[in-house]
Structure formats: structure tokens, C-alpha cells
Amino acid sequence: MSTIIHVGMPKTATTFLQKEVFPKVEGAFYYGRDHDLWDLIFHLPFKHRRFEDVGALQARIAAARERIGEKTLLISHESLSGHPWHNFMNHEEGAAMLKELFPEAKILITLRRQDDFLESLYLHSLQVGFAQKVNRFLNFEQGKFGSYRYNGGLNIDVHKLDYAWMVDVYAELFDRENVLVLPYEEIKKDSKGFLDKIFAFAGLTPFYPPKPKKKVNRGLSKSTSRLALWFNPCFRNSQSNGFGFIPQQPFSAWLGKMRPKGRVWVYLFRISRKMTFLNVLRLLDRVIGVKGNWIKADQRRQIMELHAASNRRLEEDFGVNLKDYGYF
């Protein structure tokens, strides 16, 4: 059985591929259909070989292969490339762990222009409850990008978004011919061509999903994300803010106690479970949503200049078209 592992990066149409493409490919088994395998992969980015029983993990994978049969195993989890909140510092260890568990795997890596990636990542941070101003998030002071600050809240070291280095880690472990690199921008320009490259690399029958009626995993606009920046500190959120005075679902606890009194209360409880601040913002987006960028044009220019040489080398070494999409 062959194995194809899509390691991300995040914010590169991963949700679209995971929901609309990979589970529907003929001749392949998508890992999310096997609960134990899904659980193993989901928690893998937080594991380290020194502190794990690698043999036990290998045994779980072997058992999963027995259940799956001879189909190609498809795995896609964007955090396998490293956690962006922590500047991908677990990238090398994560790649080494994958090599231990899936030594014959082929690796698919999807990238996104560093400036657009950071813009999308910042928007995502606001959606999940963080409230860092964009310059603090980017460590941008006095016209320059600084290093990561361990006590600076959620922040990114822009200098470490070195894609050539990230890809080289997989190429050294799995061999270059077993690594495919694709830019996110290509799926926006030519989705069929993008998918054709994946299926040819994986040796699978192509599958082309119908055009989705609405955008998968759509982010907030500039106007509603600004509301998130202002009001996120007020809401209690286990992922980003445990000190807010308003629960994420303010009526659920009370309505949950009222459910035994009848169907109306059960119905109201179900509605209350969807009454989160984020969902309110998404509704507002339909009315007052105004597009715009948080990262300024001069900052974007600096970001891309920082990585121009690395991006050029990546194009030359792996034959991936980056220049046409403004990577350098």
C-alpha cells in the first residue's frame, strides 16, 4: 500500500482538499474515515520521538493498514508541517516522526506567498479569539521586522518563513523525487491543472469536484475582523482568551438545564449552540463586509524581499512555478 501525506501548509486550500477532494478519490482511503488513524494523525504534531513509544504508534498504523486493505492511504493535516503559532519550530521533528511512521511515503507540500500567508494567518487568529494588533503580531517596529518574542503574546518571526528550508527537510528524509511542491495560487488560477499534478504524483485516478456553491472556510472581511480585534478580549475562549467575562455561547448553559421541559427548550438550546461571536460576525459580513488588507503594501514588499532568494532557489531546485505568482 502506498501512502501520500499532505503536510500543508495551513491557509493553502487545505480545508477544500480535505472536504471536497481527498475523501472522494477512487482507489484511495482517506485517513479521516478510520477513527484511530485520524486520532493518531491529529495528535502527531504535538508528539516527539524522545517521549513517545514509536513502536506503539507503528503498531496502530499497521493495524489500520490491515483494516484499509490495498488502497492508497491519503493523509492530509496542515499542522504536520509545523505549528504556525509557534513559528513552525516543530517542523523538523514532525518530518522526522513521519519518516519513522511512514518511511515509504510521498509528501505533498502546498505553499502560499509569504505576505498573503501572514495576512490570512492574522485573520485566522482574530477568528479564533486572539486580539493582537497586526504590527505586534508581525513584530514590526520602526520600519523593520523583529524576532519572535517569547513573552510577546501571539507573534510571528517573519524571517523564519523560509520555504526552501522547509521543503529541503522533507527532501532529505524522503528523497527529492518523493516530494511535490505546489503553490496555493495555482489552484485559484487553474484548479484542474493543480489537481492533475497531485493525482499524477500519487498515481491515482483524477477526481474533479463540482464548483462549491460557497467558499470553503471563508475568512472574515477587514471590517468584521476589526470588530473581532476590538471585542475578542470580552469573550471567554479556551484557545486564546480564558479571562473574558462573556462565555462564547452565553445562553447554552441555562437553556441546557431547561431541555427536560419540552421540545421548544430543546430547539432553543440547539440554536444557542450556534450563537457564537464568530457566527454573529459572519452574519454581519453579509451586510457590512468590506474587503481590505491588514498588512500594508510596504510591509508586504519587505516580506517578499526577505524571502526572494530562498523562493528563487526553491523554484530552481524543485521545478515549481513561483515567479509567475510574485514569490520573487
User: According to DSSP H, which parts of the chain are helical?
Assistant: 14-16, 35-43, 54-68, 91-101, 114-127, 134-138, 163-174, 184-189, 191-202, 222-231, 252-258, 263-272, 277-288, 297-318
CA dihedral sign, ordered 10, 14, 19, 24: negative
- Rounded to an integer, what distance in angstroms lies between the CA atom of residue 294 and that of residue 229? 12
Percent residues over pLDDT 90 in the chain: 77
Q: Is the pLDDT of residue 149 over 80?
A: yes
Classify burial at 201, counting beta carbons within 10 Å of its beta carbon; exposed 0-12, middle 13-18, buried 19 or more. middle
Q: Is the pLDDT of residue 107 over 80?
A: yes
Q: In one letter, which amino acid is 195?
A: L
- Rounded to an integer, what distance in angstroms lies between the CA atom of residue 317 and that of residue 295? 30
State residue 156's pLDDT score: 94
Of 99-113, 125-139, 200-214, the one with minimum mean pLDDT is 200-214
CATH superfamily of the domain spanning 3-112+161-218+308-317 = P-loop containing nucleotide triphosphate hydrolases (3.40.50.300)
State residue 77's pLDDT score: 97
State residue 221's pLDDT score: 94
Identify the H or E element spanning 122.
helix 114-127
Instruction: Map residue 157 onto helix, strand or coil.
Output: coil
State residue 215's pLDDT score: 67
State residue 271's pLDDT score: 83
Terminal-to-terminal C-alpha distance of the chain: 39
What band does 243 get if pLDDT is binned at 50, 70 and 90?
confident
Q: Is the pLDDT of residue 319 over 80?
A: yes
User: According to DSSP H, which parts of 220-262 are helical?
Assistant: 222-231, 252-258
State residue 239's pLDDT score: 65
- Across 21-40, average pLDDT: 97
State residue 181's pLDDT score: 98
Torsion angle of the four alpha carbons 188, 189, 195, 196, in this order, in degrees rounded to the nearest 10: 180
| β-pair partners for 109 | 181
What band does 242 get if pLDDT is binned at 50, 70 and 90?
low
Residue 86: Cβ within 10 Å count: 12
What band does 240 get if pLDDT is binned at 50, 70 and 90?
low
State residue 193's pLDDT score: 97
Question: Could you report the per-residue pLDDT of 199-235, keeping only the tens digit for each?
Answer: 999 999 999 999 876 666 678 999 999 999 999 999 8
Report residue 76: phi and psi, to 5°: -145, 115
What band does 164 get if pLDDT is binned at 50, 70 and 90?
very high
Of 10, 26, 14, nearest in space to 208 by CA: 26
- Across 256-261, average pLDDT: 86
Q: Is the pLDDT of residue 9 over 70?
A: yes
State residue 255's pLDDT score: 81
Model pTM score: 0.91
Give domain limits for the chain: 3-112+161-218+308-317, 222-288
What band does 20 get if pLDDT is binned at 50, 70 and 90?
very high
Q: Is the pLDDT of residue 151 over 90?
A: no
- Across 5-13, average pLDDT: 96
- Rounded to an integer, what distance in angstroms lies between the CA atom of residue 43 and that of residue 250? 30
Q: Is the pLDDT of residue 265 over 90?
A: no
- Across 142-157, average pLDDT: 91
Question: Could you report the per-residue pLDDT of 294-306, keeping only the tens digit for each?
Answer: 999 999 999 999 9
CB 48 within 8 A of CB 93: yes
Which range is most confident: 180-184, 267-271, 275-279?
180-184
- Across 10-34, average pLDDT: 96
Q: Is the pLDDT of residue 30 over 80?
A: yes
Average pLDDT, the chain: 93
State residue 169's pLDDT score: 98
